Amino acid sequence: MLNDLFVNFCVLCTTTFLVGWTLRSLKHAWTWTQIALRALLTVASSFVLIANAVPLAGGVALDLRAVPVALATIGGGVPAGVTVALPLIAYEVWRGGERALVHGLSLALVVGLCALALRGVPRDVENSGVRWWVPFGIFAPSNLPLAYGAYLATGDAGYAASVTLLLTAAQTIGMLASQAITVTQLRALERAEVLTDLAYTDKLTGVGNRRALDEALSHPGDISHVLLLDLDHFKLVNDTRGHDTGDRVLEATAAVMREVLGRRGCPYRFGGEEFAVLLRQTSTAEAVGLAQELRRRVAQEVGTRSGHPDLTLTVSLGLAGVHPASTALERADNLLYAAKRAGRDRVEAEALAVA
């Protein structure tokens, strides 16, 4: 029996690991497709556990189907737990007999007790797991209907009690092991995202860095234009007001860029006081309009946002089409310096100059 129960435990750990593959990002909200896929895999894992149940005397069978239900409730609340439990209850109803009532009541208790146990617990409990006594306190009372069913099937109260204790212990260990797997996957994902941020994000301004820019340009997709902008006379700011002020100016410039661009483009820090923008699916006229808005907003807001309302900064901008991508930055850079030579605080675009 212990060997069969160990097989059930291994199946639980394997399916938990497979469900964990649906975890792709901690930053972005889950899409309905991801939620549905995770629910489907969790329900499927419960059926796999039922298929590998441990048969006992009197028609009693032990399995760990309640563990995925508990994990779903902890991770997604009562709706998630009910979503996973209902197909299992429907399956037992289809099979018929008293088992349907026993298992249905047991799974309902699991969902309800999980909800009660997690009241006042931080919402990120899935990321850290729960203490060992929490699953024991959930499964022990939820297994009482199963204990009663075993007693009715065998007429042996001692046997029913021992089987129930064994199942509760197995469920508790199984849930702790599954939580350990899930927490490990979440922490690995978190570390991966931190490393990705370090590799692709400019630490000071929070926008993409040169590596991120180069990678985006290597697969331009729906990118239509490349815009380079450079703060005019930025060295003078550092020399007269200090590098701390210079840093605040760069942060304020990046903030203005994000507000102006929205979803129409992605900003990057190209180097020093120079920034780049990749614009998506915009006409040249629209791209020039965005560049002009950036130029105006920087002049109007960056000084105040950086804590120096008496400071007025201007930018020079060069706008080029993305194709061919291999020369886009070079062409935009040439136009940027053309704007500098033409007097600064202006936009130069390919085949079009707009002051």
Whole-structure pTM value: 0.64
- pLDDT at position 217: 92
For the segment 213-229, the average pLDDT, to the nearest whole number, is 93
pLDDT in tens, 52-87: 888 776 566 788 999 999 988 888 889 999 999 999
Confidence band (pLDDT; 50, 70, 90) for 352? very low
Q: Which helix (H) or strand (E) holds 62?
A: strand 61-62
- pLDDT at position 96: 77
Residue 168 clears pLDDT 50, i.e. is over it: yes
- pLDDT at position 289: 94
DSSP 214-255: HHHHHS-TTEEEEEEEEETTHHHHHHHH-HHHHHHHHHHHHH
pLDDT in tens, 266-321: 999 988 899 999 999 999 999 999 999 999 999 999 999 999 999 999 999 999 99
Distance CA 288, CA 274 (A): 18
Share of the chain above pLDDT 70, in %: 91
Residue 193 clears pLDDT 90, i.e. is over it: no
- pLDDT at position 354: 43
Class of domain 210-354: alpha beta
Confidence band (pLDDT; 50, 70, 90) for 24? low
- pLDDT at position 207: 94
Residue 32 clears pLDDT 90, i.e. is over it: no
Q: Is 328 helix (H, G, I), strand (E, B) or coil?
A: helix
Confidence band (pLDDT; 50, 70, 90) for 92? confident
- pLDDT at position 189: 83
Residue 89: other Cβ atoms inside 10 A: 18
318 and 297 Cβ atoms separated by less than 8 Å: no
Distance CA 145, CA 101 (A): 9
For the segment 165-189, the average pLDDT, to the nearest whole number, is 88
Residue of 193, 251, 273, 350 with catalytic role = 273
pLDDT in tens, 108-137: 999 999 988 877 555 554 555 677 788 899
Cα–Cα distance list, 146 to 8, 103, 116, 165, 305 (Å): 18, 7, 21, 11, 65
Domains 2-200 and 210-354 belong to one CATH topology: no
Distance CA 172, CA 131 (A): 10
Choose from 20-29, 30-39, 178-187, 275-284 the range with maximum mean pLDDT: 275-284
pLDDT in tens, 244-255: 999 999 999 999
Specify whether 273 is catalytic.
Answer: yes
Distance CA 64, CA 166 (A): 11
Confidence band (pLDDT; 50, 70, 90) for 39? confident
- Taking the domains of the chain in order of start, what are their residue ranges? 2-200, 210-354
Share of the chain above pLDDT 90, in %: 51
Q: Which CATH architecture has domain 2-200?
A: Orthogonal Bundle (1.10)
Residue 342 clears pLDDT 60, i.e. is over it: yes
- pLDDT at position 153: 80
Computed over every residue of the chain, the mean pLDDT equals: 87
For the segment 141-157, the average pLDDT, to the nearest whole number, is 87
**Higher confidence at residue 180 or residue 257?**
257
Which of 288, 275, 293 lies closest to 333 in space, CA to CA?
275
